[in-house]
Amino acid sequence: MVDESRRVLVTGGAGFIGSHVAEAFLACGDEVLVVDDLSAGDPANVPQGASFKQTDIVDRQALADLFGAFSPTAVCHLAAQASVTASVKDPAHDLSVNVVGTFNVVDLAKDHGAPVVFASTGGALYGEHALRPSAESTWAEPLSPYGASKLAGEAYVRTWGSLHGLGNVVLRLGNVYGPRQNPHGEAGVVAIFSERLRRGEPVTVFGDGHQTRDYIYVADVARAFVLAVTAAAPSDASLTTFNVGTGEESSVLDLLDTLQGLAPARVERVFEPLRPGELTRSCLDSSRLRSALGWAPATRLGEGLAATYSSYSGA
């Protein structure tokens, strides 16, 4: 049964995934505070009913003031530098946001006795040589500073949970897609393809297009956050890290073919070299999350792609 007095602080809640997470908690009747520096987020994404504060998680004092005023009972930490290519170009900034910022969040949450559910990465963490679908026990071999910083963030989340008796949880996400994903950045191939197809513009494919990802719909991810907060975290620290994916590999060209079928006209495909730090294959085994929290993806890829394309095309 959901505690009606929950106060959930969502960092990065003006962003793509974070805004859906905030919505999911509001739907449960919880009080929600969204914290976002708007470097990538959009105030228009903050759901109605949530409070909003524009704050950088690297600013320890400003963040402490927000924690003190709101006194959260749970924290969902999604604020991050989330671009693999940007992390390669500026690893110091990636380190600052994803490691120092995460430390600030978990340390302040500890002062309020609030468990943290941390949005980490699956594919960027497990590396090129992992068995697929990759389980949580897979040795981490990140190829990019982004993957390395997320691994370091995970360590603080788990260690602070163990040290201070909090039910901290790490969710290693697959390639999340859905409405409100930014089609103008470097990340989010579904959003980028959808926007280009809607405009009838050429689509750029990096690599040969046969590289695969585990594409997971954003509503399924948001439900995993709610379950992680609602359920008591296992006492065994090795069981507080969960993959969130479908367990299915889909290639970039398969993705593009499906989206092209939804568009009014065919567009040109331009192939460019694969960017530094990017994987050729990725797929996650989420059976642990299914067993522990009863989670399973509810949205098939074709259904999710249609809903996403419609959100950009206005159809």
Return the active site residues.
146
- How far apart, in whole angstroms, are the C-alpha atoms of residue 16 and residue 192? 14
**Residue 158 and residue 154: Cα distance in Å, rounded?**
6
| Measured distance CA(92)–CA(87) in Å, rounded | 8
Burial per residue of 277-301, b for 16 or more beta-carbon CB atoms within 10 angstroms, e otherwise: bbbebbbbbbebbeebbebebebeb
Instruction: Give CA–CA dist 275/68, Å, rounded.
Output: 42
> How many CB atoms sit inside 10 A of residue 88's CB?
17
